[in-house]
Amino acid sequence: MCGIIGCVSSLQSNIPDGVEIMLGGLERLSYRGYDSAGIAVLEENRIKVIKRKGKVAPLAEEVKRVGLQSCIGIAHTRWATHGEPSDKNAHPHLDCKGHIACVHNGIIENYLPLRRHLQQQGHTLLSDTDSEVIVHLVEEHYTGNLEEAVREAIQRLIGSFALVALSQHHPHSLIVARKDCPLIIGCGQGGNFVASDIPVLLSYTKKFIILENGEMAKISVDGVSVSNFSGDKVSKDIQQIEWENGKVDKGGYSHFMLKEIEEQPKSILDTMRGRLNSDGLVKLEGIEFPAGFLSNLQRIYIVACGTAYHAAMIGEHIFEDLLRIPVEVDLASEFRYRNPILDKRSLVIAISQSGETADTLASIAEAQARGSRVLAIVNVVSSTMSRQADWTLHTRAGAEVAVASTKAFTAQQIALFLLALRFSQHAGRIAGGIMEDIAHSLMALPAQVQSILDNSKPVLELCRWLASKDTGNNSGFRFNDCFFIGRGLDDPIAREGALKLREISYINAVAYAAGELKHGNIALITPESPVIALLTQDRVRGKMVSNIMEVIARQAPVIAVAYEDDGQIAEVIPPIADLPSQIIRIPRTIAWLAPILASIPLQLIAYYTGINRGCDVDQPRNLAKSVTVE
């Protein structure tokens, strides 16, 4: 994964000090990883490197302490793949003489034979990373021309890379190259830049060159020249980007996650805005299919990772209900390796908040190579996925900073629902009256979400209880396990609730389709494992109540998420002595939209339990917001 930023400016330019730009950039790139960070600059024509384990702050402190300043350099924030997070494994890496420095995002799959070869040639490699071989290969090929040396070095790499090289023999330029990891060049006045994404550079320029796979570039103060890996010059357009520098802050909240949870009435409304009228007619900008495409459609695949995968599972139910076309949902990391049956009669829908997830991007490429069209549901407008897909439907959740996805998830559900409606209207499958009811339910959602947020007292009590201490327990906490159960559309929400609680509070939270409990999983149910049961799907309510009775019979404490008008559930669930209320209420809506409302209390449960257990909720251990390696 990892985030990269580099800068070449002239002392006379009005661009601030390169070190300041790069440190600020690393903060903004931390969504790509935050286990260590480093910077290499040229100071008096010598490379100076500072690297620190941990987030950007310790690096920034050290940089300030030594008074590092320069107008040319490269910097990196890491998410460890090969080698633990440590000072030595942080980038930039240096060649043996300390004359060349390199940062890398991606994975070098053949690093072991390369490492062995380099060691036999007398190179000393200091880290445990795959990335370090790159700078030594550049050193091996260097005969006075850095660009040529990088070009020759990358011919020997198998895997993915976005990389930037800096050499003290070439104090006015950086060499960059890209294969399967994003890299963009920012063209400023008096300086040029390279980075993993566009937003990080928007304070300095609005002019960008987007590098494609197989391209490399020499970036100097006064120009950029792009070539391919064979050395042929490539002519590139400079794109003028009109977005604002959307730098986001916590806006008075203690954490981005809570801010983003509370933004959902707005993000849901924004995702619907201008796309749905009160008769239920849906218009989706930029989504026009060629004649006959929808009527010939035989199968839809929905691919995604993490939280977006749970949105995909919800999409499967909705599309099959509304369209009666077979839908398959796949984890993007599995999809491309399982030889899926794809042709021009199948549509692949890819869902991603970031639009940069490596496995999802690879699935899109695989589908397109096999003749299928791809529609992406993406939050980040500038992302690789938006450019790669045949059609893009943007969720309008706004910038999501917390690693755990919340508002993007509910926006993805809205986008999927609008899309399913659009398809079924096109196919003439839904009658006008039903459409009006659906539109009414959709439009009621923002206020309903707000009412859940405004009435969160039972959730807060539950979270205090879930995070209660127990000094007799090794972990120091009373509960270390928690189970989520649901049926139908409650199953993906149970999975999402469990994922959220796991990643934010480190409780071992697991979800089961409630009907599967009896097939082994019930063996784990004990009085020490609370069960959170979802009851929003009336079609399977009776069966769900039976499953709840089964866990009650095993003395598990049960908490239910149920509609406000579900009086009966209170009679089913035995009280828990030290928990005032164990029923979390949500307003009634139609079954297809219930997952949106049920998501909200589960997000709050994860957030407040994490807070009560003293966890770093915005940047949990070992995670990254954007997973850019496979």
Say how many C-beta atoms besides its own lie within 10 A of residue 469's C-beta.
12
> Should residue 382 be labelled a site residue for ligand G6P when binding is judged by CB under 6 A?
no
Say if CB 478 and CB 469 are below 8 A apart: yes
- Please report how close the Cβ of residue 71 comes to ligand G6P at its closest, in angstroms: 34
- Please report how close the Cβ of residue 514 comes to ligand G6P at its closest, in angstroms: 24
123 or 625: CB nearest ligand G6P: 625
- Of 114, 302, 627, 629, the one binding ligand G6P (CB under 6 A) is 627
Say if CB 377 and CB 349 are below 8 A apart: yes
Tokens of 28: 């903004």
Say if CB 271 and CB 397 are below 8 A apart: yes
Say how many C-beta atoms besides its own lie within 10 A of residue 86's C-beta.
18
Beta bridge partners, 94, equal 101
Quote the CA–CA distance of 336 and 367 in Å, as a whole number. 8
- Please report how close the Cβ of residue 364 comes to ligand G6P at its closest, in angstroms: 11
Distance, first Cα to last Cα, the chain = 9
Quote the CA–CA distance of 346 and 302 in Å, as a whole number. 11
Could you tell me if residue 23 is left (phi over 0), alpha (psi between -120 and 50 degrees) or otherwise beta?
Answer: alpha
305 or 605: CB nearest ligand G6P: 305
Of 153, 196, 210, 148, the C-alpha closest to 173 is: 148
Of 254, 257, 214, the C-alpha closest to 236 is: 214
- Of 360, 395, 547, 619, the one binding ligand G6P (CB under 6 A) is 360
Beta bridge partners, 327, equal 300
Quote the CA–CA distance of 101 and 139 in Å, as a whole number. 10
Site for ligand G6P in 384-403 (CB under 6 A): 403
412 or 537: CB nearest ligand G6P: 412
- Please report how close the Cβ of residue 310 comes to ligand G6P at its closest, in angstroms: 8
Angle at 405 between CA 208 and CA 441, to 5 degrees: 105
Which one of the spans 34-42, 282-290, 353-361, 522-530 is the region binding ligand G6P (CB under 6 A)? 353-361
Which one of the spans 1-9, 176-184, 291-299, 622-630 is the region binding ligand G6P (CB under 6 A)? 622-630
- Please report how close the Cβ of residue 350 comes to ligand G6P at its closest, in angstroms: 8
- Please report how close the Cβ of residue 395 comes to ligand G6P at its closest, in angstroms: 10
**Exactly one of 51, 179, 206, 625 is catalytic; which is it?**
625
Residues with Cβ < 8 Å from 271, sequence gap 6 or more?
Answer: 395, 396, 397, 411, 414, 415, 418
Give me the residue label for tokens 């042929």: 232
Which one of the spans 275-283, 533-541, 583-591, 620-628 is the region binding ligand G6P (CB under 6 A)? 620-628
> Should residue 357 be labelled a site residue for ligand G6P when binding is judged by CB under 6 A?
yes
Grouping H, G, I as helix, E, B as strand and the rest as coil, residue 225 is strand
What backbone phi and psi angles, to 5 degrees, belong to 42? Answer: -95, 120
Of 190, 239, 208, the C-alpha closest to 8 is: 190
**Exactly one of 2, 7, 102, 187 is catalytic; which is it?**
2
> Should residue 626 be labelled a site residue for ligand G6P when binding is judged by CB under 6 A?
yes
Quote the CA–CA distance of 289 and 266 in Å, as a whole number. 29
Q: What secondary structure, in 3-state letters, does 242-262 show?
A: CCCCCCCCCCCCCCHHHHHHH
- Please report how close the Cβ of residue 338 comes to ligand G6P at its closest, in angstroms: 19
- Of 625, 628, 629, 630, the one binding ligand G6P (CB under 6 A) is 625
Site for ligand G6P in 290-319 (CB under 6 A): 305-308
- Of 353, 537, 603, 612, the one binding ligand G6P (CB under 6 A) is 353
- Please report how close the Cβ of residue 23 comes to ligand G6P at its closest, in angstroms: 24
**# residues contacting ligand G6P (CB under 6 A):** 16
314 or 548: CB nearest ligand G6P: 314
> Should residue 623 be labelled a site residue for ligand G6P when binding is judged by CB under 6 A?
yes
Which x/- pattern over 414-443 shows residues binding ligand G6P (rule: CB under 6 A)? ------------------------------
> Should residue 354 be labelled a site residue for ligand G6P when binding is judged by CB under 6 A?
yes
31 or 592: CB nearest ligand G6P: 31
318 or 411: CB nearest ligand G6P: 411
- Please report how close the Cβ of residue 306 comes to ligand G6P at its closest, in angstroms: 3
Which one of the spans 219-227, 274-282, 551-559, 621-629 is the region binding ligand G6P (CB under 6 A)? 621-629
Site for ligand G6P in 63-102 (CB under 6 A): none
Say if CB 507 and CB 516 are below 8 A apart: no
Beta strands in 246-398 (DSSP E): 299-304, 327-331, 346-352, 373-378, 391-394
Helix (H) or strand (E) holding 179: strand 173-179
Which one of the spans 66-74, 167-175, 199-207, 351-359 is the region binding ligand G6P (CB under 6 A)? 351-359
Give me the residue label for tokens 């449960």: 605
Residue 500: active-site member: no
Beta bridge partners, 526, equal none
- Please report how close the Cβ of residue 44 comes to ligand G6P at its closest, in angstroms: 41
> Should residue 405 be labelled a site residue for ligand G6P when binding is judged by CB under 6 A?
yes
Could you tell me if residue 291 is left (phi over 0), alpha (psi between -120 and 50 degrees) or otherwise beta?
Answer: beta
Residue 625: active-site member: yes
264 or 582: CB nearest ligand G6P: 264
Positions that interact with ligand G6P (CB under 6 A): 305-308, 352-354, 357, 360, 403-405, 623, 625-627
Residues carrying an active site annotation: 2, 625
